[in-house]
Amino acid sequence: MPLTIAAIQSGTDPKGPLPPGAFHRTLEEQLTCPKCHVTYNLIADYDESMGRFFEEESRKFILLLKKTIQRGHDHNHQLTHLETNGVVVRAVGEVIELPRPKPEETPLDGWTYHPRHAK
């Protein structure tokens, strides 16, 4: 099954189905917008997320989600449920298509990408 990772804004409900998979796991990492305090929880298929190479595989996915969340800051983070297949990011429950992030567009400094239990 191709890997899909969802990012759901803290304090909001999913806008639609979670990524395919019988069981889901909320990853230990959260993505916090570098410009404000909006935080997204990352959710993936349980089995995929426990795989040996998940950390490696998920890097590109998380980068795409970071870029999208960063861009969403200018729109009040209206898109609360995002998901990516590692190529494109889509907003679940929305009719809009998100533009594909440009490869040269790197996230701003100041990202907190840390284990949730870290202080």
Binding site for Zn ion (CB under 5 A): 33, 35-36, 38, 73
To the nearest 10°, report the CA torsion of 71, 74, 15, 98. -40
**DSSP assignments along 93-111, one per residue:** T-SPPPPPPPTT-PPPTT-
Please report how close the Cβ of residue 77 comes to Zn ion at its closest, in angstroms.
6
d(CA 22, CA 20) in angstroms, rounded, equals: 7
d(CA 30, CA 28) in angstroms, rounded, equals 7
Q: Which is nearer to Zn ion, 38 or 91 (CB)?
A: 38
The distance of closest approach from Cβ of residue 92 to Zn ion in the complex, given in angstroms and rounded to an integer, is 19
CB of 67 to Zn ion, least distance (A): 13
Taking the least distance from each CB to Zn ion, the nearer of 78 and 95 is 78
For residue 63, which phi and psi values (nearest 5 degrees)? -60, -45
Q: Which is nearer to Zn ion, 29 or 111 (CB)?
A: 111
Instruction: Output 7 or 33, the one with its CB closest to Zn ion.
Output: 33
| Min separation Cβ 34 and Zn ion, Å | 7
